[in-house]
Each structure stands twice: as C-alpha cells, then as structure tokens.
Amino acid sequence: MQYNVNDSKLEYDAQGQKVRGEDKVLLHHDVDLTANTNWSATGFTIEKLFDDTLFQTFITNTKELLLTLWRKSGLIIPDHFEIDQYHTLANTKETHLEAVELTKLLLTSQFPVPINILEERISTICHKSLITRNPYDNQSLFHFRVVRPQLPDNNPLHRDVWLEDYKDCINLYIPIAGSNENSSLVIVPQSHQWPESKIERTLSGAVINDVKFNVPAVTGIEGEVNYVRPNPVLNEVLVFSPYLIHGGSANFNANTTRISIEVRLWKR
C-alpha cells in the first residue's frame, strides 16, 4: 500500500488474504455520532480540549503516568527526562514492545483528570450525551500511542469498525508530545461515507514487518484519495468517526517521539 501525505510518500506491505467488501456504507446501518454537527460531512473536527489551568494539570499528570509505566516496563529513566526522547531509551524493538504493552488498555480511573470532565467536553462537541464505557464489553479504557521517529511503530490504514467492539462510537486523538505536521494522525476525510466495495483490505488483522495488528489493513482504494494530517496542537483534541479510514501515521520527525492518547466514547 502506497500513499502520499504532506508531500511525503508512505508505504507498507500487509501480509494476509485480501478481500473487498459489499456495496454497503457501514455507517448507514450504525450509530453516527457525527450526525447533526457542522463537521459531519468530513467526519472530524479539531477543538480546544480543556481550560488552560485544567490542561496544565492534565499534561503534568499524563507525563507522570507515562514515566511510571515506562519504569515498570524496565526502562531506566534519568532525572529531568523529556518524554519526546523516549526513542533514546526504547531503542530496540523488544524494549519498545515491552513498554507499549503497559501503555495500552488502561482503565479510565487512571486517566490524568477525572474522566467525567472529558466525557462532558466531548458530549458538548458532539451535541450528544457520551460516555467512555463500551457497551460491547462494558469496559472503560484509554491508550497511549507511542511512535518513535523514522521507525515502523505506527499501525496501518484501517477503519476501527472492522472490529465489532468499536461500532457506534467516536474517537479521540489527544496530542501529548512530538505531534506535528510530520507525525500526527493521518485520516481520509469523508471516507466514513464510503461503501466497503471501494476498499480492499486484509481479511483479518494485518501482519506488517513481522508485527501482528488487531485491525485489518487497507491494501487498496479505488479512485482519488485525499490523505491529510489534521495536526491538532497541545490542548486541542481531534474528534473523528471510527468509520473514517485513518492510521498509517509514520513519524517523519528526525529526533522526536510522537505520543498521543486515544479514547473512544459511546452514546450514554
């Protein structure tokens, strides 16, 4: 799969059986949490996250949580360490995977500020009462996404809803460090309204560079495609439909790790 974003060429080779779906728009049969917003056509928006005082608490607590989890994974963290230099510590595939294992599937009770504050903010943005509890398994989770510079740490292009437990929700991308025009999340605007027949993908979770991903990977798209990095800054949040094609966000920064928080919400 080859594609271009911000004049940079990205590519990956996803192993596994390839399929093309039915002539069916999945979102037309599920809950659309972008409906009745002024960004429903594109499928995403960038908004301010918290007031400035709360954001300072949020970012301080976020960094402390990350350092605690990294130390638990076995990384030796020096004093006054800047988290965007994570790649200087996790400089092998093995140490990175050990650290990543501890920074995903985190209970929202560990979220850097009370989770109800986030739920209320995103409910306002979406004009609907939302909650982080997944009705599929009754879990309430968030994840750190950590992508080292110039390395294939990112997941492939995909739709989250190819996994059944991510139906009917809304996604958040919250930048924490190193997120910019060279590294932030890639999305395809308006693709939440595309039929499955327009997209070729792996039948099950993709295998890329000997790494197995939970999600199937896009391996081809018919017609012209506009890949963009919306690029929210600190104290902004990218709110987007999980029915959008997104991911594949290689970090082209020379010496800066990209760190973000991923959260999903459902209708209360």
We report the CATH number of the domain holding residue 46 as: 2.60.120.620
Tokens matching residue 191: 């693709």
> What confidence category does residue 6 fall into, taking pLDDT thresholds of 50, 70 and 90?
confident
pTM attached to this predicted model: 0.96
Count up the domains in the chain and report the number.
Answer: 1
> What confidence category does residue 213 fall into, taking pLDDT thresholds of 50, 70 and 90?
confident
- Overall residue count recorded for the chain in this entry: 268
- The predicted model gives 94-102 an average pLDDT of 95
> What confidence category does residue 78 fall into, taking pLDDT thresholds of 50, 70 and 90?
very high
> What confidence category does residue 249 fall into, taking pLDDT thresholds of 50, 70 and 90?
confident
pLDDT exceeds 90 at position 7 = no
Which domain, by its residues, includes 78?
Answer: 2-267
